[in-house]
A = this chain, B = another copy of it.
Amino acid sequence: MPLQDAFSNFTQRDWEHEAVEGAIRLAVVGVGGFARQRALPAIADSTRCETTVLVASPPESVSDVAEAYAVDAVVDYDPFLEGACVDAYDAVYIAAPNAVHGQYAIAAAEFGKHVLCEKPLETTVERARAIVDACADAGVTLMTAYRLQAEPTVRRTRELVRDGVIGDVVQVHGGFSHPLLAEADPDTWRLDPETAGGGALVDLGIYPLNTIRFALECDPIGVYATTRSEGPPFANVDEHVAIQLEYETGATASCTASFDAHARSALELVGTDGMIDIESPFGGVVPQEMVVESGDVRMEYTGPRVDEVREEFDYFGYCVLTGTDPEPDGEDGLIDLYTIEAAYESAETGRRIALE
């Protein structure tokens, strides 16, 4: 593929293979910062989803949100689990803390509802597997909310890699740091290992982990990791993490994440015949800036702004409406949890951990 062709239709939804009409009705479970700032506005913009139910405790705590988005049904968590408003939604979007993903996802599946679940799918492989099994048993769609998979720079990167524009990928660097306490209180659930499943690796490092698997279209076979915490409030989780991965193809990835460093994200793939560098791919607002080198050609590209969260909800709605299995399915979420568990084992033991 000539390099310029990759950018001739930068924002194309190459996942959209058939015409579809209508929208699915979502129950948004957990109305925290991300739901308020990104998800609910994106759903409002989406043509394939609409918010019809909010699940929060106490319900009054989200009356501003219910009013802003004209959502009539607002219920507490327990009534939701007991089937409240079950006819008012077709699917759930779970943005509650990681350790409760399972109970809401499984309840929804048992009601015959489709599930879009934030990453990580759950706090452990075992608990995530229960979600996957419940959705399979119920015959409902399960998607892990890896918003980057709907984001144009990442999708174009996969195409460029697939088409050999940079040759065989040899080495990848990915990093994502964000000062958690700039926005969250020190008692945030993200610093409780039981509720979060881990620290910076689980919350931030999962972005490069998943995005690299997506771009390379292969999975890691080995992992080394180093974790570090400098004490409270980070004492019980990895405040900083560095992780080195080996892939089936022989490529390696060098990834880092931090809860307590300057906000920064970066992704660079170096291949035998070129490289791709994406500016700030993982942070809140992706600037759609890429540099691609292929042989002697260098291209610096800035794409039009796209809200990848809206893209994600449109994609989920499309999958449900057409019966398409989403790419970021439950297995996709599971593989990253296997990697995360292996990474923590490596950090603990000082050994390379093999992944099956």
Q: A residues touching B (Cβ–Cβ < 8 Å)?
A: 166-167, 170-171, 173, 175, 177, 179, 222, 224, 226, 228, 230, 240, 242-244, 246, 250, 252, 254-256, 258, 260-262, 264, 266, 268, 270-275, 293, 350-352
Check if A273 sits within 8 Å of B262, measured CB to CB: yes
Check if B244 sits within 8 Å of A226, measured CB to CB: yes
Closest chain B CB from A174 CB (angstroms)? 9
Check if A171 sits within 8 Å of B250, measured CB to CB: no
Check if B262 sits within 8 Å of A274, measured CB to CB: yes
CA distance A222 to B243 in the complex (A): 14
Q: A230-B250, A252-B226 are in contact. Are A175 and B170 (CB under 8 A)?
A: no
A352: chain B residues within 8 A (beta carbon): 224, 226, 350-351
Closest B-chain residue to A243, C-beta based? B244
Partner of A224, one of B173, B177, B224, B273: B224
Closest chain B CB from A207 CB (angstroms)? 15
A255: chain B residues within 8 A (beta carbon): 254
Check if B272 sits within 8 Å of A260, measured CB to CB: yes
Closest B-chain residue to A271, C-beta based? B262
Copies of this protein in the complex = 2
Check if A262 sits within 8 Å of B166, measured CB to CB: yes
A228: chain B residues within 8 A (beta carbon): 250, 252
Partner of A254, one of B167, B254, B261, B272: B254
Q: With A167-B262, A224-B244, A254-B254 given, can you name 19 additional A-B contacts, CB distance below 8 Å?
A: A170-B177, A171-B177, A171-B242, A173-B173, A175-B254, A175-B268, A177-B270, A222-B226, A224-B224, A240-B252, A242-B244, A261-B270, A262-B270, A262-B271, A262-B272, A262-B293, A264-B270, A264-B275, A264-B293
CB-based closest 5 A-B pairs: A254-B254, A350-B352, A242-B252, A224-B224, A170-B261
Closest chain B CB from A36 CB (angstroms)? 24
Closest chain B CB from A74 CB (angstroms)? 37
A222: chain B residues within 8 A (beta carbon): 226
A170: chain B residues within 8 A (beta carbon): 177, 240, 258, 260-261
Check if A271 sits within 8 Å of B261, measured CB to CB: yes
CA distance A195 to B35 in the complex (A): 59
